Amino acid sequence: MTERIADLRAAVLEMIRRGADQPRDDAAFNALALRLFAYQFRANGPYRKYCEKRGRTPDKVQSWLEIPPVPIAAFKELTLTCEPVEHAVACFMTSGTTNPEKRGRHYHFTLEVYDASATTFFKANVLPDVDRLRLLILGSPPDLMPNSSLSHYLWLMCCNFGASGSSFYIGKEGLEADRLLADLRAAEQAGESVCFLGASFAFVHVLDLCGQQGLRFRLPAGSRVMDTGGFKGRSREVPQDALYGLIGEHLGVAADRCVNMYGMTELSMQCYDSPLRRARLGRQEMRTMEAPPWARTIILDPETLAVAPEGEQGIICHYDLANCSSVVGILTEDLGVATREGFRFLGRVKGAESRGCSVSVDEMLAAAGKTTP
pLDDT of residue 352: 45
In one letter, which amino acid is 142?
Answer: P
Q: What does the pLDDT average to over 299-314? A: 91
Q: pLDDT tens digit string along 156-180?
A: 999 999 999 999 999 999 999 999 9
Q: How confident is the model at residue 21 (pLDDT cuts 50, 70, 90)?
A: very high
**Exposed, middle or buried: residue 348 (CB in 10 Å: 0-12, 13-18, 19+)?**
middle
Whole-number Å distance between alpha carbons of 253 and 248: 5
**Residue whose C-alpha is closest to residue 204's, from 240, 171, 178:** 240
The CB density around residue 342, as the number of other CB atoms within 10 Å, is 18
Among 58-72, 133-147, 241-255, 358-372, which is the least confidently predicted range? 358-372
Higher pLDDT, 364 or 348: 348
Q: pLDDT tens digit string along 320-355?
A: 999 999 999 999 999 999 998 899 999 888 764 455
Whole-number Å distance between alpha carbons of 15 and 190: 41
Higher pLDDT, 95 or 73: 73
- The topology under which CATH files domain 5-107+290-367 is Rossmann fold (3.40.50)
DSSP state of 347: E
Q: Percentage of the chain with pLDDT > 70?
A: 91
Q: pLDDT tens digit string along 232-283?
A: 555 567 889 999 999 999 999 999 999 999 999 999 999 999 999 999 998 8
Considering the four listed CATH numbers 3.40.47.10, 3.40.50.980, 3.40.50.20, 3.40.50.300, the one that applies to the domain covering 113-281 is 3.40.50.980
Q: pLDDT tens digit string along 29-52?
A: 999 999 999 999 999 999 999 999
Cβ atoms of 277 and 124 closer than 8 Å: yes
> What Å distances lie between residue 226 and 135, 272, 281, CA to CA?
10, 10, 19
Higher pLDDT, 47 or 97: 47
DSSP state of 173: T
**Phi-psi group of 233: left, alpha or beta (phi > 0 → left; psi -120 to 50 → alpha; rest → beta):** left
Question: Cα-flanking dihedrals φ and ψ of residue 94, to 5°?
Answer: -70, 165
Greatest Cα pair distance, the chain, in angstroms, is 66
Q: pLDDT tens digit string along 135-144?
A: 999 999 999 9
What is the three-class DSSP state of 241?
A: helix
Q: What does the pLDDT average to over 52-68? A: 97
The CB density around residue 353, as the number of other CB atoms within 10 Å, is 17
**Domain coordinates in residue numbering, the chain:** 5-107+290-367, 113-281
Q: Is the dihedral of CA 277, 281, 284, 288 positive or negative?
A: negative
Q: How confident is the model at residue 54 (pLDDT cuts 50, 70, 90)?
A: very high
Secondary structure element (H or E) that encloses residue 177, with its range: helix 177-190
Q: Which residues contact 305 (CB under 8 A, 6 or more apart)?
A: 315, 331, 356, 360
pLDDT of residue 338: 94
pLDDT of residue 100: 63
Q: What does the pLDDT average to over 302-326? A: 94
What is the three-class DSSP state of 90?
A: strand
